[in-house]
Amino acid sequence: MINDDAVDAFNNRLTADLNNIKKMTPSQLDKVKVLGTAAENLMKNKDLAQFIHQFKFERLDIMTELSGHTEVDNTTRIAIANQLSGIDEFVRSLRRAAYMKDRVVSLQEAALKQNQADPQI
């Protein structure tokens, strides 16, 4: 059975893209910044990077041990390629979250500068 934390995480996930940043509510913008900061922290974590690279090297070692072209060997190659693709997509999702955070922050800073330069009476 799915636990409550997984359900809450799914229900509270951020579904935003760069096309609708200007239309987001302040709470959604805050979520983007929190998520982006968490992603940046993960990308800076040397232990996580080490485990990701270790995972890739292990998969490549398995791939190089496959010398035949039997159905099992070919299925194993496909499975390894899918695993490598999955870990790469995970890293891309971290980069995307960090980029969106940077984009939100830069838009907010630009709006703040505009408001400071052009105060309304």
Tens-place pLDDT, residues 58-111: 999 999 999 999 999 999 999 999 999 999 999 999 999 999 999 999 988 988
Going by C-beta distance under 8 Å and a sequence separation of 6 or more, which residues neighbour residue 107?
A: 21, 22
Contact 77, 18 (CB under 8 A): no
Tens-place pLDDT, residues 11-56: 776 776 667 777 888 888 999 999 999 999 999 999 999 999 999 9
Q: 93, 94, 60, 89: which is closest to 77 by C-alpha?
A: 60
DSSP annotation string for 73-112: HHHHHHHHHHHHHHHHHHHHHHHHHHHHHHHHHHHHHHHH
Report the alpha-carbon distance of residue 115 to residue 108 in Å, rounded: 10
- Break the chain into its structural domains and give their ranges: 32-113
Residue 84 to residues 42, 78, 87, Cα–Cα distance (Å): 19, 10, 5
Its pTM surpasses 0.75:
yes
Residue 29 CA, distance from chain mean position: 16
